[in-house]
Structure formats: structure tokens, C-alpha cells
A = this chain, B = another copy of it.
Amino acid sequence: MALEAEFSLIARHFRPLAGPGALDLRDDAALLTPPAGRQLVLTADAMVAGVHFLPADPPDRIGRKLLRANLSDLAAKGAVPLNYLMTVSAPRDTPDAWFAGFAAGLAQDQKTYGVTLLGGDTTATPGPISLSLTLIGHVAPGTAVHRFGATAGDGIWVTGTIGDGALGLAVALGRLADPSGHLLGRYQLPQPRTGLELAGIASAGMDVSDGLVQDLGHLCRESRLAADIAIENVPLSGAARAAGPDWLTTCLTGGDDYELLLAVPPGRSDALRAAAARAGMDVTRIGHFHSGSPEVMVRQASGEPLALTRGGWSHF
């Protein structure tokens, strides 16, 4: 877009989001004085219209989803989110109301999660709206939780309920009924599990964004362990249970959960439960890690393994 249009757009929609160090978005770079004695944790995600969201999705929800997907990554590290840089590439004919809605969504979630905009860039594109967000948070040095680090015998825990996001997508596509609206809501707006204290509790962890089985496979590979989970222990929401057993595989392998998947030594189970209670979250033990080749075994109530072969995940 023309430079003047770009400046005006930034001033109207993005400047109100700017926090300390952003220099009112009037400069070419931002300042960040790192919190004393803390280590920074950084994550970046890109989101593209037609891939990560539908072009017709409400713009406030797109902004919130962009921010929340990154907040979920930091939550899985046990990090406290601080601020973010963002790039927005939009077609020249993008209505001003789109930017207003997008920024309003970000403003709302900035309050909820205590983060502010630090800087970024706005450009034109001949293609679909393309967004990127780099989120910065902090931890006590050396305490960030990683995908590696789990030990044989550690329990496998998840926050909240699994599968609602994937079922919500089915609802959005008209393939599943959702009388309560719970599933669609979970798909449309992730609830990142920020605020759950993990340092000294979880030996490894990540957020579930590509499906429970797929992401548990990542923990297995990076920690060089096998995982064994019992299907009846996987926490499902009432709405997911109401969908019936035909949707169970979708719950286990779908994406967009944004719950945390944690490895927790048996001696730290109580500490996890206490931390979850403080954060107002539910946590559930769904299985355990053991030595072996990095594979995920999902056991049915009968004890028999469930065969899961979907798309690119045939190695499970």
C-alpha cells in the first residue's frame, strides 16, 4: 500500500496496542529491558488466510487466535508472556473495518493475558492475508520445559479436555451437531494454558496443537522413550462424549486442542495437581512413558492397542 496509507493504518489501529518499549510504533525498532535475572523464551508463528483461518472468519477472532496460539507455546515452556512483534501483509483492498476488528481482538486479549505490542511491520500483498507473530516471555534461568527430558516412569498428563477443537472443526464444516456451541467455541478460540507453573514439576512438555497422538510422538522422539496411554483415561468434554464413539479417533488425532501435554515424575504428581488448582485448571493422568522405541501405544479398555493410521501419521 502507499506509504501514507500504511502510516495512517498503523496510527489508527496498531498504535493503541503499543506498550512500553514500542516507542509508539514511530521508530524502526523497539526496546526491551529484559526482566532482571530472567531468561527469555521466544516463539514465532505464521498464519495465512485459507490455511490457518477462513478469509471470512471474524477479524477479531483471527487476531486473538494468532496471539493465543503463541501464548500456548509459551505456556508449555512455563514462561510468563511479556510482549510481541507482529507483521501483517494484507491485500490493498482490505477494508478498514477488517483492521479495526483485528486490532480490537488483539486489544481484548492483551488485557486478558497482560501482553503488549512491541513492534512490527505492515505491508501490501497480492495474495491472501498473511500474519506472523513473535511472542517473548521469560522464565527463571534453566527452568524452561522442553520436548526432551522425560524419564521412563514419568506420568503423561494433559490439561483440560482433548478433542474439542477437532470436533469443533467438524461442526464448522457441518459434519457434526453441537447443540451447546461448546465444540465450535473451542475450535474458534484457543484457551492457552498460561499461568500453570511447570518449573520443578514437569520433566518435559509441549502444547497439543497437531493432535494428541502426533504431539505425544514428538515427546517420545525428543525424549527417546515410548508412551503408553489408556483411551478411557483421556479426558473428554461432555459435548465430545455426546458425539459418540465414532468421533473418538478424531479426538485423539485431530488438532487445535491447545491443551498442555506434560511428562511428570510420579513424585511430582501432587505438585502438579496443586499448581493446576492454583491456576484453576483440570489435569488428568492418561498414561506413562517407558523405555523402548519412540512410539505411542493407545490402549482400549480391553487392553488391546487401538490402530491409528491417518494421513501422514502411519508410523503410529
Contact = CB atoms under 8 A, between A and B. Distances in A.
A124 interface: yes
Nearest to A2: B312
A48 B44 CA distance: 18
A29 interface: yes
Interface in A150-205: none
B132 A87 contact: yes
A97 interface: no
Given A52-B123, A125-B48, A206 B28 contact: yes
A123 B3 contact: no
A121 B73 CA distance: 12
A76 interface: yes
A67 to B, nearest CB: 14
A249 interface: no
Contact of A132 (B43, B46, B311): B46
A42 interface: yes
B126 A132 contact: no
Interface stretch (A33-41, A108-116, A271-279): A33-41
Interface residues of A, number: 63
Interface string A106-149: 00000000000011111111111010101001000100101110
A79 B89 CA distance: 27
A49 to B, nearest CB: 8
B124 A26 contact: no
Ranked 8 nearest A-B pairs via Cβ: A127-B127, A46-B87, A132-B132, A34-B34, A29-B43, A130-B130, A32-B40, A134-B134
13 contacts: A2-B311, A2-B312, A4-B312, A26-B222, A27-B206, A31-B41, A31-B144, A32-B41, A43-B85, A45-B87, A46-B130, A51-B126, A89-B130
Interface of A: 2-4, 23, 26-34, 39-48, 50-52, 73-74, 76-77, 79, 85-89, 118-128, 130, 132, 134, 137, 141, 144, 146-148, 206-207, 210, 214, 222, 311-312
Given A51-B123, A127-B127, 12 more contacts: A29-B73, A30-B41, A33-B40, A44-B85, A46-B122, A48-B130, A51-B124, A52-B123, A125-B127, A125-B128, A126-B127, A127-B130
